Amino acid sequence: MIRYVKHSEIDKQRWDDALEKCINPFPYAYSWYLDKVTNYQWDALILDDYSALFPLPFKKKFFLKVIYQPFFTQQLGLFASRQETLNDINNWLKAIPVHFVKTYLHLNSKNSLPNKPTRLTHQVLLNRDYSYIYNDYSSVVTKNLKRIRNRGMQAESSQDVYSYIKFMKDNLGPKLSDLSPSDIDMLQGLLIEILERKKGFIRFCLDKNGNRIAGTFIIKSNARVIYLLAASTQSGKKANGMTYLIDNIMTELAGKEIVFDFEGSMIPGIAKFNKNFGGKEEHFPVIQKWL
């Protein structure tokens, strides 16, 4: 039986253990991840003994609850240990309580809803020898990599979230305008939590003088690496520092049962960048409704 469970009544250890057993786990659905990105404002639909999970992140607007897609969570929706349950997605949507007066939510790529609008991500399978991954790169990427080899670039791993956030602020500027100071604080707390749980890493690209010219934050969890955040200096953009970093990570993880997930994008220029690394499109449905 699908039951609605308020946040205070969710057994979070049981929830996280259940997510690990799902056939479509995404790190965004861990209880600790949801706690950070929603400020503990999420309820859930749960099947019987936690064999299927459907988080319901919400906000309150004029005393009304609305379900929304939190920042830094690309895909949520239904997570289950059996395919038959995933096939029952429509009944789960019907089970969302009516006191949520509005819903806007990204489901995940294993939630099939043929007549719904979709968004897309780009993915590269890394369970191959690096030479095969490299062969899928576009000529633009391979030419840039050949130039990069003569520039003395190096990769630097870091555990310093504060310096990474500063690097983002310094180099993204107006692109962070959608995020309020409290959103930045939330992001900082989220990144610290991810690193403490050993489910991600920071990596910078250094130029030949040791200056940081590009940096990315990667989630590494559930047989997936997710390109969560990225920023480059002006010199880093000219030198293709992010191309160097992505290739560095793919080289390191080649041959492992891991998917590299670019997290989109619907923006044509970013989508083209992702495809240049051999990224294949994967779609996931979006639900929008007023009750």
Same domain, 132 and 224: yes
pLDDT, mean over the chain? 95
Residue 10 domain-assigned (yes or no): yes
Same domain, 70 and 171: no
The distance in angstroms from the start CA to the end CA of the chain is 23
Residue 288 domain-assigned (yes or no): no
Same domain, 47 and 104: yes
Same domain, 161 and 277: yes
Task: Output the CA–CA distances (angstroms, integers) from residue 236 to 171, 263, 286, in the order listed.
Answer: 10, 21, 35
Q: Band the pLDDT of 72: cuts 50, 70, 90.
A: very high
Alpha-carbon distance of 247 to 215, in angstroms, equals 13
Same domain, 136 and 48: no
Same domain, 152 and 242: yes
Question: At residue 26, does pLDDT exceed 70?
Answer: yes
Domain boundary among 91, 115, 139: 115
Same domain, 208 and 250: yes
pLDDT tens figures, 33-64:
999 999 999 999 999 999 999 999 999 988 89
Task: Output the CA–CA distances (angstroms, integers) from residue 37 to 33, 43, 241, in the order listed.
Answer: 6, 13, 29
Same domain, 125 and 110: no
Residue 290 domain-assigned (yes or no): no
When divided into structural domains, the chain yields a total of: 2
Q: Give which of 230, 288, 223, 221 is closest to 264, Cα–Cα.
A: 230
pLDDT tens figures, 148-204:
988 899 999 999 999 999 999 999 977 787 889 999 999 999 999 999 999 999 999
Residue 55 domain-assigned (yes or no): yes
Residue 207 domain-assigned (yes or no): yes
**Number of neighbouring beta carbons within 10 Å of residue 283:** 12
Domain boundary among 99, 115, 131: 115
Domain boundary among 64, 83, 115: 115
Same domain, 192 and 273: yes
Same domain, 53 and 141: no
Alpha-carbon distance of 262 to 225, in angstroms, equals 9
Phi, psi values for residue 284, rounded to 5°: -140, 145
Q: Band the pLDDT of 291: cuts 50, 70, 90.
A: low
Q: What percent of the chain has pLDDT above 90? A: 89
pLDDT tens figures, 212-229:
999 999 999 999 999 999
CA 200 to chain centre: 11
Residue 225 domain-assigned (yes or no): yes
148: domain range? Answer: 120-283
pLDDT tens figures, 82-131:
999 999 999 999 999 999 999 999 999 999 999 899 999 999 999 999 99
Same domain, 251 and 133: yes
What are the DSSP calls for 98-111, one per residue?
TTEEEEEEE--TTS
Same domain, 90 and 143: no
